[in-house]
A and B are shown apart, each in its own frame.
Chain A
Amino acid sequence: MVFSSLFFLFVFLPVCLILYYFSPNLKIKNIVLVLSSLAFYAWGEPVWVMLLVFSAFIDYNHGRIIEANRGNWKSKAAVVSSLVINLSILGFFKYSGFIVDNINSLLGSHYEIVQFGLPIGISFYTFQTISYVVDVYRGDVESQKKFHKYLIYLSLFTQLVAGPIVRYKDIAEEIENRKLSRKRFNKGVLRFVAGLAKKVMIANTAGQIAGFYLDNSFEGLTILGAWYGISLFSLQIYFDFSGYSDMAIGLGHMLGFTYKENFKYPYISKSATEFWRRWHMSLGSFFRDYIYIPLGGNKRRGIFNLFIVWLLTGLWHGASWNFIFWGLYFGVFIVIEKVILLKLLSKVPTFISHLYLIVVAVSGWVLFYFVDMTQAIAYFRIMIGLSNAPFYTTDMGIRFMNDIYFYIVAILLCTPLVKNFFIRLPHRLFKNKKHCVIGSEIMQALYVGGVIILVCALLVGQSYNPFLYFRF
């Protein structure tokens, strides 16, 4: 089930909220959360829900063992055991096909492997459970004593399938005791609705338009069209993924959980380094805390460590060479920036550094989009004018004009400008404080009601509604 489906919005979510809010105490609320989360997961993945429960069970016990044996070899052994089990499961489901394919093409052998579909959300929850075990080992957080509470952490439907990657220590307190209030619920609603609009109104539309440029044969493609197409995909993936994170954060608030931000307007960055501090922040910080710093950070073999991190970042996104190249592509830019470019970028006018980042990020999505490298290269060649594609054609112009308002609005929404405008609007309209409160309440309600109507309209008519990060 995805958040942006009518079934989720009008069946699952209201039922879940009613049961949750009418539960008399925290214990029953917790049971509601566990059951509804497992139901949510089993709905789309009836078999592998067992794998999720298994992972949770294993690491719940690892956590207990580590805490009981703090300081002796058993705790170390438990961490190793957790890592081996988790990475084996992830490796088996996500990377075995890729590894065997590469061995076959390298050795000319014909090993075959039983292929399973990738269990939904496995990349996310595996990282969450690893972070828990490591944090317990490091003594950053106490282990959880109740299995069902650990299950709440790992399987909570709000963030289970597409992140953000939540750390146990960030919600440990809220698992035990959380405050629910109308104020907080209101905040959650606004956030959820924003995410829903981003996903259904912007990401799906951008994806639909982008398909014509990216999925078609490249014969009719123009240089401008190639840039336009990949820029549409850049919009799609940002609004898709950050929309999902917004919905997760919003649902978290509704249920009394606080998640850290996962996106902070990445496309307004001025360098690749900054971009990755604003894009999928929970993944970046995971690699920083559990890979980069343990390897020695920038104190020992800094550049080598960076490349390891970027190799893994790429690989995390998918078991395919294009994702590895995409990760390393950013690794290269970030190393160059570290060595020389950041200094340079701080001296030039900001629009140049903005432009630099946009070109780097948008071009990067070409590597990300095309699993087949020959296609990625062919597309690049068109973008930089190395093919004989024309710069512009009449039909490209018509197509562009047909969607021009959408394109402009989507780009504006990549910046904080629109949000800031609407936050300040009631203050500008109403001098009286009382009026201002009423005005903003009404505006918010109209916004919530309006988005729901429009989203329903689009979902009813739309066959195109994938979640890109579901694959990972």
Chain B
Amino acid sequence: MKRIYLSAILFPAILIAVGFYNFVLNSDSLITDIQENNISLKEVASGQVARNIEASYTENFISRGKLMQISSALNRLKGKSDKVEIVDTTGINVAQDWNDETQNETGEINHTSYGSILIIGNKAMELNRYDEKAIDSYAKTLNQVAEKLEHEAKVYSLIVPTPIEFIQDKKYKAMSYSQEDSIRETYSKYENVISVDAYSTLKEHSDEYIYFGTDHHWTQLGAYYAYAEFIKQFNVNPIELEEFNHFQIKDFIGSLYRMTQSEKLANNKDTIDVYEPRTPSKMYWSINKNNKGAKVIHKDYATEDNKYGVFLRGDTPLLYIESEANNDLSIAVIKDSYANAFIPFLTNHFSRIVVIDPRLWNGNLYDLVQEEAIDSVLFLNYALINRFEGYSDVLSKILIK
């Protein structure tokens, strides 16, 4: 029997059909993409323009969503991962706006930094690792701040452990360096810094919903327990949880899903419990109060991409909050995004709060503390910030005169 060589017909037919279909459907968006980038001769000569066109072509490819689903289905066939799975990703920080510069600049060997995410059952959590230098320089930086602000403000440190610390299975827990140890080690190096023990209280409540399963943050319930511990430092009783107005945001899929694309996480969405402050306050995105005062928590802040943004409207370089707490307590919080769920509780007790995200802010902390007559400075970070060196570099940038 004579062969018809089906593949010889099928192959060009697919290429031409898909190519044509793509051209008809997507030529507009491709052209806009190209026009939006002002093209210089240099870019043409370097081949950059061609690369942009290819990237844009891929971006606008037909049925992209469907193809992505096929891709992740294919990924699941790679091995056995139903019970437990580790996903390694380049880039350590899952926070959105931070291009982490973890490669050191001292001329030593540059390694790519990998972050590892463990998925057990349907919960994801980041793995910790030990980095002596990172811990040491974090503590040193805080000591330096405390020394310099000796006469102006008290300096507090609150380091928050992450969920891997409280899982039951000892074998899996052992894969992650003990945060109890790393936090204790950091605290033990403090000289004039007042350390706040959030670890014990979170451990005590570890069977409650204090961490998300699809996101690397703690829930606001977790933040509440840490707040209750922290506020004792000021001889103030924490407000009971029941006294806050409470609402929920459903179907939250967070950063760890984004990093892993795990179906298990997609099928187990989180709920964000939100506790609104009792004391009215106004939030500004600059010290000069350039905007109309906004609320610290608003359900409209929760965008589809970032529902955790319900707190403080997400990470921004600087926030200035004035509350009607009717006292002259003021505090500056130098923080990562863990603090976003925490700070709304503080508005009940501090009439002025400055929130600084050192990853995004380019200012000088000492000047700020002096000019604004701040009397407390709190460094609030999640413990995994010290898995790698890098954060302390970021911190020291806001300390240099």
A selection of 19 A-B contacts at a CB cut-off of 8 Å is: A7-B57, A10-B22, A14-B19, A211-B112, A215-B112, A216-B114, A372-B109, A394-B171, A394-B174, A398-B84, A401-B79, A433-B1, A437-B1, A441-B7, A447-B7, A452-B14, A456-B61, A460-B61, A462-B71
- Ranked nearest first, the 10 interchain pairs of A and B with the lowest CB-CB distance are A186-B8, A457-B70, A186-B5, A10-B19, A461-B71, A215-B112, A406-B78, A457-B71, A14-B15, A395-B175
Residues B35-81 near A (CB distance < 8 A) = 44-47, 50-51, 53-54, 57-58, 61, 64, 67-68, 70-72, 74, 77-81
Q: How far is the CA of A458 from the CA of B69 in the complex (A)?
A: 10
DSSP class of A's interface residues: helix, strand, loop or mixed?
A: helix
Shortest CB distance A333–B (Å): 28
- Residue in A9, A10, A405 whose beta carbon sits within 8 Å of that of B77 in the complex: A405
Shortest CB distance B22–A (Å): 6
Is A448 in contact with chain B by the CB < 8 A criterion?
Answer: yes
Inter-subunit contact B85/A402 (CB<8 Å): yes
Q: How far is the CA of A5 from the CA of B19 in the complex (A)?
A: 13
Inter-subunit contact A457/B81 (CB<8 Å): no
Inter-subunit contact B64/A405 (CB<8 Å): no
Is A165 in contact with chain B by the CB < 8 A criterion?
Answer: no
Shortest CB distance B84–A (Å): 6
Q: A434-B1, A437-B1 are in contact. Are A14 and B12 (CB under 8 A)?
A: yes
Inter-subunit contact A7/B16 (CB<8 Å): no
Nearest chain A residue, comparing its CB with the CB of B176 = A395
Q: How far is the CA of A45 from the CA of B78 in the complex (A)?
A: 36
- Residue in B7, B50, B114 whose beta carbon sits within 8 Å of that of A445 in the complex: B7
Q: How far is the CA of A404 from the CA of B47 in the complex (A)?
A: 39
Q: Count the B residues whose beta carbon is within 8 Å of the partner chain — how many? A: 59
- Residue in A182, A394, A453, A459 whose beta carbon sits within 8 Å of that of B8 in the complex: A182
Shortest CB distance B213–A (Å): 18
Q: How far is the CA of A186 from the CA of B175 in the complex (A)?
A: 51
Inter-subunit contact B58/A460 (CB<8 Å): yes
Inter-subunit contact A43/B47 (CB<8 Å): yes
Q: How far is the CA of A403 from the CA of B86 in the complex (A)?
A: 10
Inter-subunit contact A458/B8 (CB<8 Å): no
Q: A186-B8, A374-B109, A456-B67 are in contact. Are A18 and B16 (CB under 8 A)?
A: yes
Inter-subunit contact B22/A395 (CB<8 Å): no
Shortest CB distance A100–B (Å): 19
- Residue in B9, B50, B116 whose beta carbon sits within 8 Å of that of A1 in the complex: B50
Nearest chain A residue, comparing its CB with the CB of B80 = A401
Q: Which residues of B contact A363 (CB under 8 A)?
A: none
Q: A46-B45, A183-B3, A398-B86 are in contact. List 15 more A-B contacts (CB 8 A).
A: A7-B58, A45-B47, A46-B47, A46-B50, A182-B5, A186-B5, A212-B88, A216-B111, A394-B171, A401-B81, A402-B86, A404-B79, A405-B77, A447-B7, A448-B10
Is A423 in contact with chain B by the CB < 8 A criterion?
Answer: no
Inter-subunit contact A461/B68 (CB<8 Å): yes
Q: Which residues of A contact B290 (CB under 8 A)?
A: none
Q: A186-B7, A215-B112, A460-B67 are in contact. Are A402 and B171 (CB under 8 A)?
A: no
Residues A219-269 near B (CB distance < 8 A) = 219-220
Residues A165-188 near B (CB distance < 8 A) = 182-183, 185-186
Q: A6-B58, A372-B109, A445-B6 are in contact. Are A457 and B174 (CB under 8 A)?
A: no
Is B172 in contact with chain A by the CB < 8 A criterion?
Answer: yes
Is A293 in contact with chain B by the CB < 8 A criterion?
Answer: no
Q: Which residues of A contact B174 (CB under 8 A)?
A: 394
Q: A375-B109, A448-B10 are in contact. Are A46 and B81 (CB under 8 A)?
A: no
Q: A182-B8, A406-B79, A461-B67 are in contact. Are A215 and B50 (CB under 8 A)?
A: no
Q: A44-B50, A183-B5 are in contact. Are A405 and B79 (CB under 8 A)?
A: yes
Inter-subunit contact B79/A216 (CB<8 Å): no
Residues B151-186 near A (CB distance < 8 A) = 171-172, 174-175
Is B140 in contact with chain A by the CB < 8 A criterion?
Answer: no
Inter-subunit contact A437/B116 (CB<8 Å): no
Hey, what's the 0/1 contact readout for B11-41 against A, CB within 8 Å counting as 1? 1101110110011000000000000000000
Q: How far is the CA of A407 from the CA of B77 in the complex (A)?
A: 11
Q: Which residues of A contact B23 (CB under 8 A)?
A: 11
Inter-subunit contact B15/A13 (CB<8 Å): yes
Inter-subunit contact A189/B81 (CB<8 Å): no
Shortest CB distance B365–A (Å): 30
Q: Which residues of B contact A141 (CB under 8 A)?
A: none
Nearest chain A residue, comparing its CB with the CB of B116 = A395
Q: How far is the CA of A442 from the CA of B47 in the complex (A)?
A: 41
Is A468 in contact with chain B by the CB < 8 A criterion?
Answer: no
Inter-subunit contact A458/B74 (CB<8 Å): yes
Is A70 in contact with chain B by the CB < 8 A criterion?
Answer: no
Inter-subunit contact B53/A7 (CB<8 Å): yes
Residues B228-287 near A (CB distance < 8 A) = none
Is B288 in contact with chain A by the CB < 8 A criterion?
Answer: no
Is A412 in contact with chain B by the CB < 8 A criterion?
Answer: no
Is B129 in contact with chain A by the CB < 8 A criterion?
Answer: yes
Inter-subunit contact A449/B109 (CB<8 Å): no
Q: How far is the CA of A425 from the CA of B1 in the complex (A)?
A: 18
Q: Which residues of B contact A352 (CB under 8 A)?
A: none
Inter-subunit contact B57/A11 (CB<8 Å): yes
Q: Which residues of A contact B22 (CB under 8 A)?
A: 10
Shortest CB distance B62–A (Å): 9
Q: Which residues of B contact A461 (CB under 8 A)?
A: 67-68, 71-72
- Residue in B3, B8, B15 whose beta carbon sits within 8 Å of that of A437 in the complex: B3
Q: How far is the CA of A183 from the CA of B8 in the complex (A)?
A: 8
Q: A7-B58, A433-B1 are in contact. Are A46 and B44 (CB under 8 A)?
A: yes
Nearest chain B residue, comparing its CB with the CB of A454 = B74
Shortest CB distance A285–B (Å): 31
Is B127 in contact with chain A by the CB < 8 A criterion?
Answer: yes
Is B4 in contact with chain A by the CB < 8 A criterion?
Answer: yes
Is A190 in contact with chain B by the CB < 8 A criterion?
Answer: yes
Nearest chain A residue, comparing its CB with the CB of B169 = A394
Inter-subunit contact A458/B71 (CB<8 Å): yes
Is A205 in contact with chain B by the CB < 8 A criterion?
Answer: yes
Q: How far is the CA of A18 from the CA of B13 in the complex (A)?
A: 11
Nearest chain A residue, comparing its CB with the CB of B129 = A220
Residues A438-472 near B (CB distance < 8 A) = 438, 441-442, 444-445, 447-449, 452-454, 456-462
Q: A398-B85, A441-B6 are in contact. Are A405 and B175 (CB under 8 A)?
A: no
Nearest chain B residue, comparing its CB with the CB of A21 = B12
Q: Which residues of B contact A460 (CB under 8 A)?
A: 58, 61, 64, 67-68, 71
Q: Which residues of B contact A402 (CB under 8 A)?
A: 78-81, 85-86
Q: Which residues of B contact A403 (CB under 8 A)?
A: 78-79
Nearest chain A residue, comparing its CB with the CB of B66 = A457
Residues B91-131 near A (CB distance < 8 A) = 109, 111-114, 116, 118, 127, 129
Instruction: Indicate the member of A45, A442, A460 with the most B CB atoms within 10 Å.
Output: A460
Q: Which residues of B contact A462 (CB under 8 A)?
A: 71
Residues A400-445 near B (CB distance < 8 A) = 401-407, 433-434, 437-438, 441-442, 444-445
Is A393 in contact with chain B by the CB < 8 A criterion?
Answer: yes
Is A145 in contact with chain B by the CB < 8 A criterion?
Answer: no
Inter-subunit contact B57/A399 (CB<8 Å): no
Q: Which residues of A contact B9 (CB under 8 A)?
A: 182
Q: A7-B54, A18-B16, A46-B44 are in contact. Are A457 and B68 (CB under 8 A)?
A: yes
Inter-subunit contact B1/A5 (CB<8 Å): no
Nearest chain A residue, comparing its CB with the CB of B49 = A46
Residues B174-219 near A (CB distance < 8 A) = 174-175
Q: A205-B78, A460-B64, A461-B67 are in contact. Are A193 and B5 (CB under 8 A)?
A: no
Nearest chain A residue, comparing its CB with the CB of B131 = A219
- Residue in B3, B6, B54 whose beta carbon sits within 8 Å of that of A5 in the complex: B54
Shortest CB distance B9–A (Å): 8
Q: A46-B47, A47-B45, A456-B67 are in contact. Are A216 and B112 (CB under 8 A)?
A: yes
Is A308 in contact with chain B by the CB < 8 A criterion?
Answer: no
Q: Which residues of B contact A434 (CB under 8 A)?
A: 1
